[in-house]
Structure 1
Amino acid sequence: MIEIANVSKTFHQRTGGSFTALDNVSLTIQKGEFVSLLGPSGCGKSTLLNLVAGLETAESGNIHVNGKACTGPGPDRVVVFQEHALFPWLTVLDNVAFGLKQKGVGKKEREALAMEQIKSVHLSKFADRYPHELSGGMKQRAAIARALAMDPEILLMDEPFAALDEQTRLVLHKELEEIWLRTRKTILFITHNIREAVILSDRVLVMSTRPGKIKKEFLVQAARPRDISDSVLHHVESSIMEVLADELEKVVKEETGDEYSIKKKSISDPAADSVGGGI
């Protein structure tokens, strides 16, 4: 479904300097897989997602989606951002139906399709509400429904739950897993949260500090629907934290310039909430 081969990306700054965000990254995501990218801030996770979305172009290397070169955005890929990006002057129904309207779908059909997705994220009672009348979790549900209404083959999700409280995140994890089990969309998911990545994903790809590379891949071979108390998940989380410890130490040393160190196996409970939790 997605093939990324030897991709590098350098950003050139107005001051004349430059920095390499990604260096020779290669990976393949199969149709119907749920894959998460995990790593420290600035490691190039969102840059890689933007390249797959066609919002950025690679310095070198190739990206193919369904066997075709990725040269820009396409209807087969929809991005769900950290901020919901709902239009404040439109109701939930009209927000979810917006993309369908742009495609020229008739009012009756697009409202029916939009309501179908609104029901799938449990917002039926709020279809006529405006964004300011919704909680943060509801807004993100509406954003996911809007993406699903376009029926893309691929969902690109850039830290969609980062701004939410822990209880809301757990609820949305369950809902997203239910949606994925029902639709089998191919999902590329960006997160800083180790537990989130492990609970949701088939595979977790850990990235190194800048310039970003794929450091290690973890298979999450736990039964679905996932149970947060599953010992398999705890083992994978601990293993990921071990790999990330060195990367986090590099980030801290770069930012502080002192001899700061991170204790490995510094997870106090069965899971680390987010990258950086052991600092």
Structure 2
Amino acid sequence: MIDIKNVSKTYDDRNRGRYNALNQVSLHVKKGEFVSLVGPSGCGKSTLLNMIAGFEKTEEGMIEVNGEKVKGPGPDRVVVFQEHGLFPWLTVLDNVAFGLKQKGMRKKERHELALEQIKAVHLSKFAASFPHQLSGGMKQRVAIARALVMDPAILLMDEPFAALDEQTRFILQSDLEEIWGRTHKTILFITHNIREAVMLSDRVIVMSTQPGTIKKEFNVQASRPHSIGDPLIHHLERKITDELADELEKVVKGEMGDDYRIKKNHFSGPSSDSMGFGI
């Protein structure tokens, strides 16, 4: 479904000068697979996702979707961002149906399709509501419904639950897993939350600090739906935590000096906490 072949990307920054964001990244995502990317902030996760979406061009290497080189955005790929990006002057129904309207679909047909997806994210009672009348979690549900109504083959999700409280986040994770199981969409998911990555994914990709590379891949071999009480899930959380702790130590040493050390077992408790956010 998605082939990333030796992709590199550099940027020019006024303060930092020219720096390498991604270096020789290669990854294959199969059709219907749920893959999460974790890594310190600045390791190139969002850059990679934006290149798959067609928002940015690769500098070296190539990205293909279904055997076709990505040259720009396409209807087969839809992005869900951390910020919901809803139009405040439109109702939930019209927000979800907006993309269909842009395609020229008749009002009755687009509203029927939008209502199906609004029902799928459990917001039927709020179809006539405006964004300011919704909670943060409800707004993000609308954003997911807006993506799904376009029926893309691929969902690209850039920390979609990062701004939500833990309880709301847990509910939306469950909803997303149910949607993925029902639709068989290919999902590439960025998160700083290790437990979220393990609970949702078939594979978790750990990226190194700048320049961003793929450091290690972990297959989540536990049976679905994943259970937090499964020893396999807990063991995998700890392994990913240790890998990420190594990368965080590199970042902090660069800022605070070589005498700084991160104790890995310090992070082996509540793995639901985010690691690397803001670093």
TM-score (norm 2): 0.97
Written as runs of structure 1 = structure 2, the 5 A alignment for 1:1-279 is 1-14=1-14, 17-257=17-257, 259-267=259-267, 269=269, 271-276=271-276
In structure 2, relative to structure 1, the CA distance for the partners of 1:59 and 1:244 (3 Å cut) is same
Letter of the structure 1 residue corresponding to residue 54 of structure 2: G
Counterpart CA distance in 2 for 1:142 and 1:101 is 16
Instruction: Report the CA distance between 1:257 and its aligned residue.
Output: 3.0
Structure 1 stretches (4+) deviating beyond 4 angstroms?
none
**What is the CA–CA distance in structure 1 between the aligned matches of 2:32 and 2:185, rounded to whole Å?**
5
Equivalenced residues, count: 278
Q: CA deviation at 1:271?
A: 2.2
Cα 1:223–1:5, aligned 2, differ >3 Å: closer, same or farther? same
Structure 1 unaligned spans of 5+: none
**8 Å contact kept, 2:206–2:217:** yes
User: In 1, Cα distance between the equivalents of 2:139 and 2:48?
Assistant: 25
Structure 1 Cα separation of the partners of residues 104 and 178 of structure 2: 30
- Seen in structure 2, the aligned counterparts of structure 1 residues 71 and 164 have a Cα distance that, compared at 3 Å, is same
RMSD value, Cα: 1.5
Deviation by residue 1:200-255 (Cα, 9 ceiling, x = unmatched) = 00000000000000000000011112222221111110000111111010111122
Q: Output one character per residue of 1:106-132: Cα deviation in whole Å (capped at 9) or x when no partner.
A: 100100000000000000001111111
Q: CA deviation at 1:273?
A: 1.4
Between 220-229 and 46-55, report the one with greater CA deviation: 220-229
Structure 2: state its 5+ residue gaps. none
**Structure 1 length normalisation: TM-score?**
0.97
- The whole-number CA distance in structure 2 between the counterparts of 1:28 and 1:71 is 18
Report the Cα distance in structure 2 between the residues aligned to 1:157 and 1:271, rounded to whole angstroms: 21
Aligned partner letter, 1:88: P
Instruction: Name the aligned partner's letter for residue 109 of structure 1.
Output: E
| SS of structure 2 residue aligned to 1:216 | strand
- The one-character-per-residue Cα deviations of 1:152-196 (angstroms, maximum 9, x if unpaired) are 000000000000000000000000000000001000000111011
Q: Is the 8 A contact 2:118 2:142 kept in 1?
A: yes
| Mapped partners of 1:51, 1:107: distance in 2 | 33
Q: Secondary structure of the equivalent of 2:245?
A: helix
